Every structure is written in C-alpha cells, then in structure tokens.
Structure 1
Amino acid sequence: MVISGRYRLWLIAGAMLLVQMTAPGMAGQVPAATPLVFAGSGTNLPIVRILAEEFQKRHPEIHIEVPASIGSTSGIRAAADGAIALGLISRPLKENEKGLGLEVATYARTPLIIGVHQTVAEDNISYAEILDIYRGKKNRWKDGRDIVVLTRESGDSTIEVMEKGVPGFKEVYDESQKAKRWTPLLKDLEMNQTLAKTPHAIGFSDLGALTVERHKIKPLKVNGVAPTLKNLQNGIYPLAKPLMFVFHREKLPATAKEFLAFVHSKEGAKIMKANGYLPGK
C-alpha cells in the first residue's frame, strides 16, 4: 500500500503515542506530551533541525520531531489539516492555498547555488550559459568533458526561484521538460548527494545545505558574483530561497509559539547566520 505524504505524519504521531502508552511502567499513567512535529520542504530541514536541537537544550521538557522532506505542498496541507504544528515551506502560497486560513512567517533566506562536482574547473557561470545548457546547446565544459545536468521537477521551489530570477529560464526549462532531456530529482537531499558524487555534473543547492551538511559541491559565481550571505544581504547576489513557517495562529500550541520566539530572537539569528542563512525577510 502506498502512503501519501499528507497522512504519513498522522502515522508517525500515532505510532509515537502508542509507544508512550505501551512502554514498560506506563500502564495506568498519563502519557507524555505529544511531540511537536514540523514538516515540509527539504530546504528548511538543515536549519530547522539545528534550531530545534538548540531550543530543546533550553527546554528539555519539549520534544520536537522534524521528519524527512515531504515538500512544501504536503507541509501546507498537513498544517491546514492540523496534523503538524508548523509547516515548512520554501515558496509562496499558491492561489488555491491562500484560503486555508494559514499564517505565513518568513524567518530566513539562503543563497540558491548553481553548483558543480569538484571535477569541474569552471568557477563562474553566466545567465546565458545556464540557458544554453538547458537548451542542450552547451553540452561540454572547457576541458571537453560532457556536462551532466541534474535538475528538479516542475513546480519545485528551486525552479520557481530560477524562473523569477533568470530571464528566459522558464521557457528553456519548459522546453527541456517537454523534450525529456533529463530526469528530474525530487528532493533537495537527493540533488545534493547526487551532485556531490557525479563527476562533471551541474545542479542546484543552497548555501545553508552546504554549510550544515558539508556536501562536497563546488559553488559557482553567477555573473561574477559569489553566493555569500554578504552579497545576498547587499542585494548583489540575485538568487535566494525563502524559508517560511505556515500555521494556524489560533490552533498553534504554546510550545510552538515559544519555538517561533526563539527562532526570531537574537540567539536564533546568530545560529542561522553561522550556518549559511540570512535571518528575517
């Protein structure tokens, strides 16, 4: 039986509660408080897991679960259904999601990285070169090696950032999909792991993931500009992924509100900056 991402979290929460209720010595006792579950886009996971860990050090009575990526869309649906406390998203709400009664809180941005395997000699790429690669017109690196293109699926937040930030990208991306030029990768972690181990490959990552998870990926400058927090903050680097929480304000547990306050505190900001994320909007 295939279990959809939307209901996977119900099973996780139910299983954890069952374990608590049936553990030795628990019979007749009140079970421990249900853990907070934060789930959604893989872009959010590296920093949310660090923030959750630091928060729990200060509040050991609060337990937080951050499962594997289920994507922004499933995170939104799970938050709307009340299956999770916080949905993790890396794109704005779509029109059909704006009526769900969810509040959106942006807490950070991180530079979107055009990354390559460490075998690639180039250290810079232009918008024109990106478009030519997706057209299939540019298919070799300067050393003559074939370019291995790793891409994401249509509708992914990375592709949305590229479509908004790189003039002409939407058209060449759509054409490449119709031509079935490459097989898209469906998760951030899958992209990072595949890019790190595939010689002569080009793909996408972000500064936060590279900092936290230490993937052996070489970030390229884009039009001569390095993907750093300083360049993003100064408005020089053009490509960034937004990180947001979605939730029902009136249904939000007090413990989740404490976590949000921690994220938006000076301490939370310091943690994010140290790990490749620019706090705030």
Structure 2
Amino acid sequence: MKSKTRMMSILAIALVLVVALSAVFVGCGKTEKVKITGSTSVAPLMKVLAAAYEKENKNVRIEVGEGGSSQGIKDTQDGKNDIGMASRDLKKDSVTGEYTETGLDKIQIAYDGVAVIINKEASIEGNNVTNEQLYALYAYGTPIGGISLPVSREDGSGTREAFDEKITDAEGNKLIDLTKFTSGIQIANGTNIVMTDVAGNVAKLGYISMGSLNDTVKAVKYNGVEPTVENVKNGTYKLARPFLIVTKSGAELSQAAKDFIDFILSEAGQKIVAEEGYVAM
C-alpha cells in the first residue's frame, strides 16, 4: 500500500513538473507584438528598422501601419497603438507657444528633407524652384515654366504641414495660413501616390520625403540648393523637418516596445537611418 501511495505521489509530482515546463516553453515561444501607426513618410524607414530588429528578435513582431502623422498622434493619445510616427513637430499654440497635441512623449529619430519633384521628362530653368514660385503655383496656379499642376498631400499629413509652413510669398505669407488654394491642385493620400501622379504627367509638381526619392521622378533644387543629406545636415537646405516617434505619457510600454525604441536610437539603428538616405541623430 505504501509503495502504491509513493508511486501515486511521484506521478503527481511528475505531472506538475510537466505542466510547469510546458507553460515555460509556451511562454518562451509567445510572440510579442508592437503596433506602430502614423506618417507615410516615416513608415518606409520604420519598416526597414522593424525588419532588422525582428531578424535578431524572433519572438517580436513589429506591425507598421500608416494613416498620416495626425492619425498616428491621435492613435497614441487614444491608446490605439504602442508608438505613433510623425514627420513634423507636435502642434503648438501660435500665441502661447505651448503644445496643443498633449499627453505625449516625443523622441526624434532622424531628420529629413522635403524634396520638390517633377516628371523626369519635364524641365525647369536652372532645375530650380524658389519659395515665391512654389507659393504662386499652389496658391494661384501660376505656372513654373511648363509646370502648371501642383500635387499636394491630404489634411493631416506631416509632410504637407512642413511644406505649407515653409513655403511663403515675398511678403512672408505662408501657404499654411491660406484657406483656399488654386482650383487646379490635386490631393494625394500618400507619398507613393504623389510620385505616381508626378511620374505620369509632365505638367505636375509635387513634394515628398527626400528619403523616399527614386528614379521614377526628378528632384529639383530649392532656392538654389540641392536636396541632399549633406545639405540637410549642414542647414543649407531649408525645406526640412524632424522624424518623430511618440508614446502616450504615463502609459506603461511593453518591454518589446521599449527595446525597439532603444534599438532605433542605438548605433546600429542610426546606421540604418543613414543608409536609408536620412539624417541620423
């Protein structure tokens, strides 16, 4: 009887150990997810960073969505993502200078130029556009040589806000303060759509993230300066803006999200930023 009781005890202990070990192994194989949404300009860089991180961290999946800078910021405020992406600074009150997009912690991960692009077959005198020319094209439809159809981004785009903030007429009036643009303006919901539209029409001009440039379109000088990483870095190319990630203030980030942010800011992460054509921190 004692032998039988001892055997039952051993079996019970063994069963407990099997269950415990199974839980450990299941836990080890569990995939951790990090959800990121926001800027269509930051997204291509973020996807490359995510792929590099996942390669070394097999149990983590970084989900990179888009929707625009304002959407990414709102998603973060509403707790709908772990990390938001923005290709502009957070909005401030024009009088007080205080942030109006609140409840957020921001981290700059790169700096990027906004490239003005035209069709590869189009030409502009000196391959150059000025502030005043761009303002007149977008505000009134005033052609720049054979360019007469401006392409802009949708409301909520960080790239649009950066562009509209920088482009002024001779009196210093900004595009961002206009309530009405030329009737000929075309709105494109994303970087790739801008490039496709411009690549398909010699009369169109648009603007995109410098890091997204490819050989389907042609970048032109802005106020006489080439859109290059070096010129953004040395400050001579003025049509530039920060790339930010934002998290919700006071929220407890998962360890995977924290580690991914650390990776982005690390030497390895910033090397990828530079390799992808952006200005590293």
Q: Same fold (TM over 0.5)?
A: yes
**Cα shift at 1:200:** 2.6
Verify the 8 A CA contact 1:192 1:215 in the aligned structure 2: no
**Cα shift at 1:163:** 3.4
Partners in 1 of 2:144 and 2:233 — Cα distance? 33
Which whole-Å deviations, capped at 9, do the CAs of 1:213-243 have from their partners, x for residues lacking one?
x351101011110011101111100011321
Partners in 2 of 1:156 and 1:147 — Cα distance? 23
Task: Mark the CA change 1:133 to 1:178 in structure 2 (over 3 Å): closer, same or farther.
Answer: closer
Out of 61, 64, 67, the position equivalent to 1:70 is 67
RMSD: 2.5
Letter in 1 for 2:59: E
* Residue 204 in structure 1 maps to residue 207 in structure 2: yes
Task: Mark the CA change 1:171 to 1:225 in structure 2 (over 3 Å): closer, same or farther.
Answer: closer
**Cα shift at 1:208:** 0.8
* Residue 131 in structure 1 maps to residue 135 in structure 2: yes
Q: Which residue does 1:83 correspond to in 2?
A: 80
3-state SS of paired residue (2:180): helix
Structure with larger Rg: 2
Partners in 2 of 1:179 and 1:268 — Cα distance? 42
3-state SS of paired residue (2:137): helix
Out of 31, 34, 37, the position equivalent to 1:36 is 34
Which region of structure 1 is more displaced relative to structure 2, 87-96 or 117-126? 87-96
Verify the 8 A CA contact 2:82 2:253 in the aligned structure 1: yes
Letter in 1 for 2:277: G
Q: What residue ranges of structure 2 are gaps of 5+ in the alignment?
A: 1-25, 94-98
Which region of structure 1 is more displaced relative to structure 2, 85-94 or 170-179? 170-179
Partners in 2 of 1:171 and 1:244 — Cα distance? 23
1:186-265 to structure 2, matched below 5 A, reads 186-210=189-213, 214=214, 216-248=216-248, 250-265=251-266
Q: What residue ranges of structure 1 are gaps of 5+ in the alignment?
A: 1-28
Q: Which residue does 1:163 correspond to in 2?
A: 164
3-state SS of paired residue (1:43): coil
* Residue 149 in structure 1 maps to residue 127 in structure 2: no
Partners in 2 of 1:82 and 1:137 — Cα distance? 41
TM-score by length of 1: 0.78
Tell me the percent identity: 25
3-state SS of paired residue (2:75): helix
Task: Mark the CA change 1:53 to 1:270 in structure 2 (over 3 Å): closer, same or farther.
Answer: same
Q: Which residue does 2:89 correspond to in 1?
A: 92
**Cα shift at 1:273:** 0.8
Task: Mark the CA change 1:91 to 1:255 in structure 2 (over 3 Å): closer, same or farther.
Answer: same
Partners in 2 of 1:57 and 1:51 — Cα distance? 10
Task: Mark the CA change 1:241 to 1:38 in structure 2 (over 3 Å): closer, same or farther.
Answer: same
3-state SS of paired residue (1:120): coil
**Cα shift at 1:34:** 4.5
Q: Which has the higher strand share?
A: 2
Letter in 2 for 1:269: Q
Verify the 8 A CA contact 1:135 1:172 in the aligned structure 2: yes
TM-score by length of 2: 0.78
Partners in 2 of 1:271 and 1:201 — Cα distance? 32
Task: Mark the CA change 1:86 to 1:146 in structure 2 (over 3 Å): closer, same or farther.
Answer: closer
**Cα shift at 1:194:** 1.6
**Cα shift at 1:173:** 6.5
The count of residues paired between Structure 1 and Structure 2 equals: 245
Letter in 1 for 2:159: T
Out of 93, 99, 107, the position equivalent to 1:105 is 107
Task: Mark the CA change 1:246 to 1:135 in structure 2 (over 3 Å): closer, same or farther.
Answer: closer
